Structure 1
Amino acid sequence: MKKLLPILPLAAAMILSGCVNLAPDYERPAAPVADQWPMGESYKTSEMKRESLPEWQDFIRDERLHKVIELALANNRDLRISALNVEKARALYGVQRAELFPTVAARASNTASDVRGGMSTTHSYTAQLAMSSYELDFFGRVRNLTEQALQSYLQSEDAQRTAQGSLIAEVAMAWLTLSADRAQLTLQEETLKSQEESFRLVEESYKYGAASQLDYEQARTTVAAARAQIASYVRAVAQDRNALELLVGAKVDEALLPETLVLDSTLPASMPDGVPSEVLLNRPDIMSAERGMISANANIGVARAAFFPSISLTAAAGSTGGAMHLSDLFAKGTGIWNFAPSISLPIFTGGANLANLRAAEASQQIAAATYEKSIQTAFREVADALATEGTVERELAARRDYAEAAGRAYELSNSRYKHGAAAYTEVLDAQRAKVSADQQLITAELARASSMVTLYKVLGGGTRIAQPAAADGKVSE
C-alpha cells in the first residue's frame, strides 16, 4: 500500500483534469435563404420530386460515360491529392489527440566506473517508468486544440467529397461537349457537301452564261466558309478530347467516346424532398463551412484558457542500485520515485492574451459570415439550375421547330432558283438560316443534357465516397 501512495496525487490530478471547457456553446445559425425554392414560369419542372438524390452510378445512364467516370475516379490527380490530404489530416489529428494522454516511457541505464587504477569496476543500474511533462487540461486548452484538429480532418474529407462531385460533373460535361462538337463537325461536313454540289451547278451555269459572276463568287464564298468551319470544329473536337483526358488522368479509349450528342445519358432532373435549408446542408462545401465555425468556436476556448494557470506533471518510478550484478537491481531497498508538478500563471503578457481572444472572436464571426454566404451561394446555384430546367425544354422545342422550318425554306428557295423563279442570293440566305438553325439546335440539345448534370451537381450529387472493400469482399466500415 505504501508503494501506491506516491502515485495517488497523480491519479487524482488526472481524474480532475479537463473539468472546464471555456469554448462557447456552438449553435448553428439560421439559414439566410427563403423557406422554399423560387416559383413561377421559369421553375415549372422544380415540382419534380424524389426522396433523395440517386448515386452517380444510377444517375449516369450511358454505359460509356459511366466507364469514363470510373476511370476518372481512379486516375484524376486532383482527386488523388484530395484523398492524400485526408490521410494527412487524419494523421495530424492523431498527433494532436495524443496530447490528451500522458506519455510514459521505460528507461534503463548502466553506469560502469573504474576505481583504484583498474583494480575494480563498479556498476550502477537504473530502471524506471517515466512520464514526461503532461498538461492537466483543467480549462480545455488541449481539448479545444484537439477539436480544431478534428474539424480540420473532417474539412479535408468534405474537400475530397466536393472534389469528387465536381469531377463527376466536369467529366460528364466534357463528354457531352465533345459529343456536341462532333455533332457540329458532322453538320458542317454535310453542309460542305451540299454547298460543293451547289457550287458545281452554279459554276456550270456560269460557264454557259446562265449565272452571273456574282452568283459564282457567292457560291464560292459559302464553300470556303464551310471549310473554315470544319477546320474550327476539328480543332474543337481535338481540344475537347484533350480536356476530357486531363480530367480522366488517362487515355480514353475511342470506344468510350460519343459519335454524336446523347440526350438521355442521365436520369431526368428532379429535386429531393425538403426545404432549401435541409437540402443544401447535404452539400459537402456547406458542411465544410460549418466545421469552420465549430473550429473557430474551439479556438475561442484556446484563447480563453491562456488567461488561466497551466499545470503540468512529471513523474517517474523505478529501481536503482550499485550492485555488481544486474539481478540485484530490484532487490529490497532499491526503489525510487519522483513527482514534480509545476504551474505557470500568466501575470503580465503585454495584452497578448486579450488580443488573441479578440482575434479568435473575430475569426468566429468571419466563419459564421462565410457559412451564411456559402448557403446563399448554394441557394443561388440551385435556383439558377431550376430556372434552366424550367425553360430549356421549351427552348429546345422551339429550336426544333425553327430548324425544321429553316430546312424547309431552304429546300423551297433552292427549288425556286433551279426553276429560275428566285435569285441565288435567296438561296444563300435560306442556306445560312438553315445552318444557323441546325447549329443552335445542337447548342440547345447540349444545354438540355448539361442542365440535368448541373442540377445534380449543385444539389450535392456524386459526393458520396465509396468505402474500400475489405479482404473478404465486404465493405469496410
Structure 2
Amino acid sequence: MLKQITLSLLAAGVLGGCSLAPTLQRPEAPVAATFPQEAAPTGIAAPATPAANAGTPAADIGWQDFFPDRRLQAFIAAALDNNRDLRTAALRIEEARAQYNIQSADLLPTLNAAGGVTRSRTPGELNASGRPILTTGYQVGLSLTSFELDFFGRVRSLNQAALAQYLATEEAARAARISLVAETAKAYLAERSFAEQHELARQTLQGRENGYRLAQQRFEVGASSALDLRQNETLVLTARATLATLARQRAQAINALTLLVGRPLDTIGDLPAPQPLSGQNIVNDIPAGLPSDLLVRRPDIRAAEQRLVSANANIGAARAAFFPRISLTAAFGTASTALSGLFSAGSGNWSFGPQLLLPIFDSGRNQGNLDLAQVRTNLAVVDYEKTIQTAFREVSDALTARGYLEEQIEAQRAVQVAQADRLKLADQRFRNGISSSLDVLDAERELFSAQQSLVQAQLLRLTNSVDLYRSLGGGLKSTTNYASQAR
C-alpha cells in the first residue's frame, strides 16, 4: 500500500509540471525611445555641480550622498525609522509572504499523526442477544488528507500568482521608501524656503517701520504731504500681513515635515544648524539614460509587472478548473479493541480513497471565472503601460525644467541686484530733492518682491533635482542600512 501511495505522489510531481497559463509577453514600453532634449540656458552659464557623483545613475547614488545637508540626513533617517506609511508597507510584505507560504503548502501533501479512541453502544433490539453491547476501539497512525494531484497545473498556477503578488508587494514597499525620502527632502526644503522668506519679510518690516517714523516726522514739520505718510503706512501694513502669512506657511510646513518624520522634530538630537537654500549642494547633474532603464530602476514599474505575472497565472488556474480534479486521501496505522493490543501482530489497518471531481454543470461559473481572470490580466497590462508612461513623463518634466530653472535663477539674481541699485539711486535722488518719496517706496516694494522670487526660484530648482532623483529610481540605496520597522 505504501508503494502505491508513493508511486501516486511521484506521478503527481511529474504531471504537475503541466500548466495552462498563457505565455506571458511583456508589453513594449508605450513611450518614445529617448527622453526629450533637456532645455539649454540661453546664454547664461549654469553653476557648476559637484563632480563627485557626476555621471552616476540616480539608482547608484545613496541618499546620504545626494543630500549632503547633515540636518536633512537626520530627518530622512528618522523618517525611515518612524514613518507609519513605511511601517504599513513593511507589514504588507509580511502579509503577502504569509499568503504565499499558505498557498505554496498546497504543492506538497499534508501528513498528520492521528490517535484516537471510540466507544459506542448498540441497543439490544439490534443484536441477537437482546442486550446492549458496548464496544471500544483504539487507533493510531498517519493520515494523508485530500492531496490534489496537480495534473493541469491549477495549484501550481495559484502558487505562481501568490509569489508574484508577494514580489509586487515587496517592490511597492521599495517604491514607498523612495517616495518617503523624496517627500521628506521636499518638505524640509519648503520649510527652509518659508524660513528665509520670513526673515526677509521681518527685515523689510523693520526697515519700513523706520521709514514710517521718519515720514511722520517730516509730515509733522510740513516737509511732506499726507499722501507720502499714507504710502509709508500702507507699506508697513502690507509687510506685516506678509510676515503673518509666511509665519503660518512655515508652521504648516513644519507640521508636514513632522508627519513624514514620524516624531517631533525637537526630539531628534544632535541636529546641526540649518543650511540656506543657496548652500544645499544637492546633486543635479544626473544622467537620464534611456526610458528602458526605468524598467529596471523603478520599483513601481517592477511591481506593476509582477501584478501582471500574477494575473496571467490566475488564467492558468481558471482554465484548469474545466478539467478533472483528482485528490488522494489515505491513512495507515494500527487499530485494536484494547489499548494493549495496538501494536500486536495483525493490528495494522489502512485506507486509500482517491477522488475524481469532474465538472459537468456549474451554471457558467468556471467560464465566468476564466473571463474575469482574462479581464484582470488586460487591466494589469493597462496598469503596467500607464505606470511606464507616468514614469516617462516625470523624468521628462524634470529634465525639461532643469535647464530653464538654472536660467531663471541667474536672471532673478540679476533682477535682485538691479533692484537694489535702483533703490540706492532712488534714495539718493530723494535725499537731494530731485524725486519724490514715491519712487523710493516703489523701489523698496520691487526689491522685496525680487528677493522673495529668488528664494522661490531656488526652491523650485532644488525640488526639481529631488523629483528627477526620485523619478530615475534614486533614494533606495543608502550607505547605512536603515531597516523598516514593522512592530
Superposition TM-score, scaled by structure 1 size: 0.91
Cα pair 2:89 2:172 within 8 Å, conserved:
yes
Partner of 1:82: 89
Matches of 1:43 and 1:298, distance apart in 2: 50
Cα pair 1:175 1:258 within 8 Å, conserved:
no
2:391 to 364, 367, 378: 378
Q: How far apart are residue 309 of structure 1 and its match?
A: 0.5
Partner of 2:285: 270
Partner of 2:298: 283
Q: How far apart are residue 80 of structure 1 and its match?
A: 0.8
Partner of 2:126: none
Partner of 2:9: 11
Structure with bigger RCO (C-alpha 8 Å, 6+ apart): 2
1:412 aligns with 2:425: yes
Q: How far apart are residue 284 of structure 1 and its match?
A: 0.9
What code does the residue aligned with 1:409 have?
R
Q: How far apart are residue 49 of structure 1 and its match?
A: 2.8
1:41 to 39, 42, 51: 39
Matches of 1:144 and 1:433, distance apart in 2: 68
1:174 aligns with 2:174: no
Q: How far apart are residue 257 of structure 1 and its match?
A: 7.7
Cα pair 1:125 1:321 within 8 Å, conserved:
yes
For structure 2, which runs of at least 5 residues remain unmatched after alignment? Answer: 123-128
Distance 1:196 1:267, change over 3 A: closer
Equivalent residues in 2 for 1:23-62 (5 A)?
23-39=21-37, 41-42=39-40, 49-51=55-57, 52-62=59-69
Partner of 2:320: 305
Matches of 1:218 and 1:259, distance apart in 2: 37
Partner of 1:320: 335
Matches of 2:41 and 2:80, distance apart in 1: 33
Q: How far apart are residue 123 of structure 1 and its match?
A: 4.7
What code does the residue aligned with 2:71 have?
R
Distance 1:457 1:19, change over 3 A: closer
1:191 aligns with 2:204: yes
Tell me how large the CA RMSD over aligned residues is.
Answer: 2.6
1:72 aligns with 2:79: yes
Q: Name the SS of the counterpart of 1:263 in structure 2.
A: helix
1:210 to 214, 223, 240: 223
Q: How far apart are residue 315 of structure 1 and its match?
A: 0.5
Distance 1:151 1:6, change over 3 A: closer
1:131 to 117, 135, 144: 144
Cα pair 2:154 2:316 within 8 Å, conserved:
yes
Q: How far apart are residue 150 of structure 1 and its match?
A: 1.1
1:347 aligns with 2:352: no
Q: How far apart are residue 370 of structure 1 and its match?
A: 1.4
Superposition TM-score, scaled by structure 2 size: 0.89
Partner of 2:125: none
Cα pair 1:159 1:288 within 8 Å, conserved:
yes
Cα pair 1:182 1:260 within 8 Å, conserved:
no
Matches of 2:239 and 2:320, distance apart in 1: 74
Partner of 2:372: 359
Which stretch shows the higher mean deviation, 52-61 or 332-341? 52-61
Matches of 2:362 and 2:434, distance apart in 1: 98
Matches of 2:482 and 2:222, distance apart in 1: 77
Q: How far apart are residue 258 of structure 1 and its match?
A: 5.9
Matches of 1:9 and 1:367, distance apart in 2: 40
1:92 aligns with 2:92: no
Partner of 1:474: none
Matches of 1:64 and 1:452, distance apart in 2: 18
What code does the residue aligned with 2:56 have?
R
Aligned length: 464
Matches of 1:277 and 1:365, distance apart in 2: 22
Residues 373-428 of structure 1 deviation map (CA, whole Å, 9 limit, x = unaligned): 11111001000001121211111111100001001101111121122111111111
Moved segments of 4+, more than 4 Å: 42-46, 112-116, 120-123, 257-260, 464-469
For structure 1, which runs of at least 5 residues remain unmatched after alignment? Answer: 470-477
Which stretch shows the higher mean deviation, 140-149 or 344-353? 344-353
What code does the residue aligned with 1:214 have?
L
What code does the residue aligned with 1:10 have?
S
What code does the residue aligned with 1:387 have?
T
Distance 1:266 1:102, change over 3 A: farther
Cα pair 2:164 2:310 within 8 Å, conserved:
yes
1:20 aligns with 2:26: no
